[in-house]
Amino acid sequence: MGGSTAISMTGQYGMRLLGATFRAALIEFAAEKLNVPEAELTTANSTVMHAASGKSATYGELAADAASRTLQTAPTLKTAATFTIIGTSPQRHDIPRKVTGEAIYGIDFTLPEMRIATIMAAPVRGGALLSVDEAPALAISGVEQVIKLDHEVAVVAKGYWPAIQGLRALSPKFSDAGLAGISTASIYEQQETLLQPGTGSVNAVGTVHAS
């Protein structure tokens, strides 16, 4: 089960089970690789260790080969006494950079001579760009180009601010794609009409077989 309830519902057990399953596969492969008995192996800090010989292998070194193994369906789970993370409140890795403004989001990314484009689509699905006077946008300092597409108009500029201003300056004319007459009232009316007996099929998909 996914989504925001995953961990609180079944996830805590599910994650433990998955972790234990992969851990078992890593130990199994490590036993062969290090040539030591599986029962003498322990794990900590993403490493499989053999205390008696001092041999060890990291999960990263074992992962590719261990991934091809048949996984156990009922691995031994860690006991609560050996938990190192569950029950603690570790700091999130992303927060320090976010609260200091250092984190780079998509809008913050830049390259030398990079240009920014803003785009406006037809307000109605299927609406076509009929005409647009480019001049008001091109008159703004930093705006370089107005691009006309089938259903949208875009402005390319040296930065976000001129690109935003350029788009605002345009008054594009879009077609209504023949949908200008549609309203909440007209949709209800259409539904009422279709609900009347004898109006036939609205949408035929698939085949019903008599059993």
**Interface ranges with another protein (CB under 8 A):** 96, 99-102, 104-105, 107-108, 110, 141, 159-161, 164
Other beta carbons within 10 Å of 143: 23
**Helices and strands, number each (H, E), in the chain:** 7, 8
Residue 67's identity, in one-letter code, is A
Which of 141, 186 has the CB closer to another protein? 141
Nearest approach in angstroms of CB 170 to another protein is 17
Which of 24, 154 has the CB closer to another protein? 154
Which of 102, 192 has the CB closer to another protein? 102
Residue with tokens 């851990």: 23
Nearest of 189, 194, 198, 178 to residue 122 by alpha carbon: 178
Task: Report residue 136 as tokens.
Answer: 């008001």
Nearest approach in angstroms of CB 31 to another protein is 42
Nearest approach in angstroms of CB 161 to another protein is 4
Nearest of 64, 42, 63 to residue 53 by alpha carbon: 42
Nearest approach in angstroms of CB 145 to another protein is 18
Which of 26, 167 has the CB closer to another protein? 167
Q: Return the CA Rg of the chain.
A: 31
Round to whole Å and give the CA distance between 3 and 1.
Answer: 7
Nearest approach in angstroms of CB 45 to another protein is 24
Which of 7, 103 has the CB closer to another protein? 103
